[in-house]
Protein backbone atom coordinates (compact mmCIF):
# COMPACT_ATOMS: atom_id res chain seq x y z
CA UNK A 1 0.00 0.00 0.00
CA UNK A 2 1.36 3.41 -0.98
CA UNK A 3 2.32 5.93 1.67
CA UNK A 4 0.44 9.11 0.79
CA UNK A 5 1.85 12.64 0.97
CA UNK A 6 -0.74 15.38 0.35
CA UNK A 7 0.15 18.99 -0.48
CA UNK A 8 -2.48 21.30 0.97
CA UNK A 9 -2.99 25.02 1.46
CA UNK A 10 -6.19 26.95 0.86
CA UNK A 11 -4.29 29.80 -0.73
CA UNK A 12 -3.45 29.70 -4.43
CA UNK A 13 0.05 30.09 -5.80
CA UNK A 14 1.99 28.92 -2.75
CA UNK A 15 3.82 26.18 -4.66
CA UNK A 16 1.69 23.05 -4.01
CA UNK A 17 1.81 21.77 -7.60
CA UNK A 18 5.49 22.66 -8.02
CA UNK A 19 6.45 20.77 -4.88
CA UNK A 20 4.19 17.84 -5.81
CA UNK A 21 5.87 17.22 -9.16
CA UNK A 22 9.35 17.78 -7.71
CA UNK A 23 8.75 15.37 -4.85
CA UNK A 24 7.36 12.76 -7.23
CA UNK A 25 10.58 13.06 -9.25
CA UNK A 26 12.74 12.86 -6.14
CA UNK A 27 11.05 9.71 -4.80
CA UNK A 28 10.92 8.04 -8.23
CA UNK A 29 14.65 8.76 -8.64
CA UNK A 30 15.26 7.12 -5.26
CA UNK A 31 13.75 3.88 -6.53
CA UNK A 32 10.29 4.24 -5.00
CA UNK A 33 7.43 3.44 -7.36
CA UNK A 34 5.71 6.82 -7.15
CA UNK A 35 2.37 8.14 -8.41
CA UNK A 36 1.31 11.75 -8.75
CA UNK A 37 -2.39 12.25 -8.03
CA UNK A 38 -4.02 15.40 -9.33
CA UNK A 39 -7.28 16.08 -7.51
CA UNK A 40 -7.28 19.76 -8.49
CA UNK A 41 -10.07 20.52 -11.01
CA UNK A 42 -7.62 23.05 -12.56
CA UNK A 43 -5.68 19.90 -13.53
CA UNK A 44 -2.38 21.81 -13.68
CA UNK A 45 -0.17 18.76 -13.34
CA UNK A 46 -2.29 16.54 -15.60
CA UNK A 47 -2.12 19.23 -18.30
CA UNK A 48 1.60 19.73 -17.79
CA UNK A 49 2.35 16.05 -18.22
CA UNK A 50 -0.01 15.70 -21.21
CA UNK A 51 1.47 18.76 -22.94
CA UNK A 52 5.14 17.94 -22.57
CA UNK A 53 5.28 14.16 -22.13
CA UNK A 54 6.67 13.48 -25.62
CA UNK A 55 9.70 15.74 -25.17
CA UNK A 56 13.12 14.14 -25.32
CA UNK A 57 14.59 12.92 -22.09
CA UNK A 58 11.32 12.80 -20.16
CA UNK A 59 10.76 9.76 -18.04
CA UNK A 60 7.21 8.40 -18.01
CA UNK A 61 5.18 9.97 -15.22
CA UNK A 62 2.57 8.07 -13.31
CA UNK A 63 -0.19 10.65 -13.13
CA UNK A 64 -3.60 9.70 -11.80
CA UNK A 65 -6.13 12.24 -13.01
CA UNK A 66 -9.28 13.29 -11.21
CA UNK A 67 -11.61 11.43 -13.57
CA UNK A 68 -9.97 8.04 -13.15
CA UNK A 69 -11.61 7.09 -9.82
CA UNK A 70 -15.00 7.69 -8.23
CA UNK A 71 -14.37 7.38 -4.51
CA UNK A 72 -11.23 7.65 -2.40
CA UNK A 73 -11.58 3.93 -1.72
CA UNK A 74 -11.21 3.40 -5.50
CA UNK A 75 -8.18 5.69 -5.46
CA UNK A 76 -6.57 3.56 -2.76
CA UNK A 77 -7.09 0.50 -4.99
CA UNK A 78 -5.40 2.33 -7.90
CA UNK A 79 -2.50 3.19 -5.59
CA UNK A 80 -1.91 -0.38 -4.42
CA UNK A 81 1.03 -1.04 -6.81
CA UNK A 82 2.87 2.10 -5.64
CA UNK A 83 5.26 2.73 -2.74
CA UNK A 84 4.52 6.45 -2.50
CA UNK A 85 1.75 8.72 -3.85
CA UNK A 86 1.99 12.50 -3.90
CA UNK A 87 -1.40 14.24 -4.02
CA UNK A 88 -1.81 17.78 -5.35
CA UNK A 89 -4.93 19.59 -4.13
CA UNK A 90 -6.83 22.75 -5.15
CA UNK A 91 -6.57 26.12 -3.36
CA UNK A 92 -9.71 25.90 -1.22
CA UNK A 93 -11.00 23.91 1.70
CA UNK A 94 -13.72 21.35 0.98
CA UNK A 95 -15.34 18.13 2.11
CA UNK A 96 -13.30 16.45 -0.62
CA UNK A 97 -10.09 17.70 0.99
CA UNK A 98 -11.25 16.23 4.31
CA UNK A 99 -11.81 12.88 2.55
CA UNK A 100 -8.29 13.07 1.12
CA UNK A 101 -6.85 13.81 4.58
CA UNK A 102 -8.49 10.58 5.79
CA UNK A 103 -6.36 8.48 3.44
CA UNK A 104 -3.20 10.59 3.86
CA UNK A 105 -0.09 9.73 5.87
CA UNK A 106 1.66 13.12 5.70
CA UNK A 107 0.04 16.48 4.96
CA UNK A 108 2.63 18.94 3.76
CA UNK A 109 1.59 22.60 3.97
CA UNK A 110 3.75 24.94 1.91
CA UNK A 111 3.92 28.36 3.54
CA UNK A 112 5.14 31.11 1.26
CA UNK A 113 7.69 33.12 3.22
CA UNK A 114 5.83 36.42 3.08
CA UNK A 115 3.87 38.06 5.90
CA UNK A 116 0.45 38.03 4.16
CA UNK A 117 0.83 34.45 3.02
CA UNK A 118 1.79 33.42 6.53
CA UNK A 119 -1.41 34.99 7.86
CA UNK A 120 -3.51 32.90 5.42
CA UNK A 121 -2.41 29.53 6.79
CA UNK A 122 -4.75 29.32 9.82
CA UNK A 123 -7.85 27.78 8.21
CA UNK A 124 -5.81 25.02 6.57
CA UNK A 125 -4.20 24.18 9.92
CA UNK A 126 -7.68 24.12 11.54
CA UNK A 127 -8.92 21.60 8.96
CA UNK A 128 -5.86 19.47 9.67
CA UNK A 129 -6.57 19.66 13.42
CA UNK A 130 -10.09 18.32 12.72
CA UNK A 131 -8.67 15.47 10.63
CA UNK A 132 -6.19 14.61 13.39
CA UNK A 133 -9.01 14.07 15.88
CA UNK A 134 -10.11 11.10 13.73
CA UNK A 135 -6.65 9.86 12.70
CA UNK A 136 -4.08 9.96 15.50
CA UNK A 137 -1.24 8.77 13.24
CA UNK A 138 -1.76 11.54 10.67
CA UNK A 139 1.42 13.60 10.34
CA UNK A 140 1.30 17.23 9.25
CA UNK A 141 4.24 19.55 8.69
CA UNK A 142 4.87 22.99 7.25
CA UNK A 143 7.56 23.76 4.69
CA UNK A 144 8.63 27.32 3.97
CA UNK A 145 8.60 28.09 0.24
CA UNK A 146 9.66 30.86 -2.11
CA UNK A 147 12.10 32.03 0.52
CA UNK A 148 14.01 35.12 -0.61
CA UNK A 149 17.58 34.98 0.63
CA UNK A 150 18.75 37.82 2.80
CA UNK A 151 15.32 38.78 4.16
CA UNK A 152 15.06 38.95 7.94
CA UNK A 153 11.31 38.29 7.97
CA UNK A 154 11.83 34.65 6.93
CA UNK A 155 13.22 33.94 10.42
CA UNK A 156 10.36 35.90 12.01
CA UNK A 157 7.77 33.92 10.04
CA UNK A 158 9.49 30.64 11.00
CA UNK A 159 9.38 31.69 14.67
CA UNK A 160 5.64 32.43 14.38
CA UNK A 161 4.97 29.12 12.60
CA UNK A 162 6.88 27.26 15.31
CA UNK A 163 4.33 28.50 17.86
CA UNK A 164 1.77 26.07 16.36
CA UNK A 165 1.91 22.37 17.25
CA UNK A 166 2.99 21.49 13.70
CA UNK A 167 6.66 20.91 12.91
CA UNK A 168 8.27 23.38 10.53
CA UNK A 169 10.68 21.40 8.37
CA UNK A 170 14.35 22.34 8.35
CA UNK A 171 14.40 22.22 4.53
CA UNK A 172 13.43 25.52 2.93
CA UNK A 173 12.49 26.04 -0.71
CA UNK A 174 14.00 29.18 -2.23
CA UNK A 175 12.36 31.63 -4.59
CA UNK A 176 14.18 30.49 -7.72
CA UNK A 177 13.75 30.70 -11.47
CA UNK A 178 14.81 27.04 -11.58
CA UNK A 179 11.41 25.99 -10.21
CA UNK A 180 9.59 27.72 -13.09
CA UNK A 181 12.13 26.64 -15.70
CA UNK A 182 11.90 23.01 -14.58
CA UNK A 183 8.26 22.77 -15.58
CA UNK A 184 9.25 23.11 -19.23
CA UNK A 185 11.98 20.50 -18.86
CA UNK A 186 11.65 17.40 -16.73
CA UNK A 187 9.04 18.73 -14.25
CA UNK A 188 11.69 18.70 -11.54
CA UNK A 189 14.71 20.77 -10.63
CA UNK A 190 16.73 17.60 -10.07
CA UNK A 191 18.67 17.96 -13.32
CA UNK A 192 18.80 21.76 -13.33
CA UNK A 193 22.09 23.53 -14.04
CA UNK A 194 21.74 25.38 -10.73
CA UNK A 195 22.32 22.79 -7.98
CA UNK A 196 20.73 24.89 -5.21
CA UNK A 197 17.12 24.01 -6.02
CA UNK A 198 18.05 20.35 -6.41
CA UNK A 199 19.64 20.36 -2.96
CA UNK A 200 16.49 21.91 -1.49
CA UNK A 201 14.23 19.22 -2.96
CA UNK A 202 16.63 16.50 -1.84
CA UNK A 203 16.65 17.88 1.73
CA UNK A 204 12.85 18.09 1.75
CA UNK A 205 12.48 14.57 0.34
CA UNK A 206 14.89 13.16 2.94
CA UNK A 207 13.04 14.86 5.79
CA UNK A 208 9.72 13.48 4.56
CA UNK A 209 11.12 9.95 4.28
CA UNK A 210 12.44 10.12 7.84
CA UNK A 211 9.08 11.43 9.12
CA UNK A 212 7.35 8.51 7.38
CA UNK A 213 9.86 5.97 8.67
CA UNK A 214 9.60 7.25 12.27
CA UNK A 215 5.81 6.92 12.25
CA UNK A 216 4.99 3.98 10.00
CA UNK A 217 7.89 1.52 10.42
Considering beta carbons, is residue 42 or 98 the nearer one to ligand ATP? Answer: 42
Q: At what angle do helices 16-29 and 195-216 cross, to 10 degrees?
A: 80
Least distance between ligand ATP and beta carbon 101 (Å): 17
Distance of CA 213 to the CA centre of its chain: 18
Least distance between ligand ATP and beta carbon 19 (Å): 7
Least distance between ligand ATP and beta carbon 91 (Å): 3
Considering beta carbons, is residue 81 or 191 the nearer one to ligand ATP? Answer: 191
Closest of 38, 34, 96, 88 to residue 64, by C-alpha: 38
Residue with the closest Cβ to Mg ion? 17
Provide the binding-site residues for Mg ion, judged by CB under 5 A. Answer: 16-17, 44
Cα separation of 184 and 49, whole Å? 10
Least distance between ligand ATP and beta carbon 42 (Å): 6
Considering beta carbons, is residue 83 or 158 the nearer one to ligand ATP? Answer: 158
Considering beta carbons, is residue 15 or 205 the nearer one to ligand ATP? Answer: 15
Which stretches of the chain are assigned E, i.e. beta strand? 3-7, 34-38, 63-64, 84-88, 106-112, 139-147, 168-174
DSSP reduced 3-state for 136: coil
Amino acid sequence: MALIITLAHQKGGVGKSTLATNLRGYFAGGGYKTALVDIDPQGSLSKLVRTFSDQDGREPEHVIERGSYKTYKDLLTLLEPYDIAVIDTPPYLSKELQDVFEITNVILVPCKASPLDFLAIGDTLDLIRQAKTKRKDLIAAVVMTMVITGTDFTTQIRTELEKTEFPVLIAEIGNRVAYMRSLLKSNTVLGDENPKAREEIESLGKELISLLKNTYE
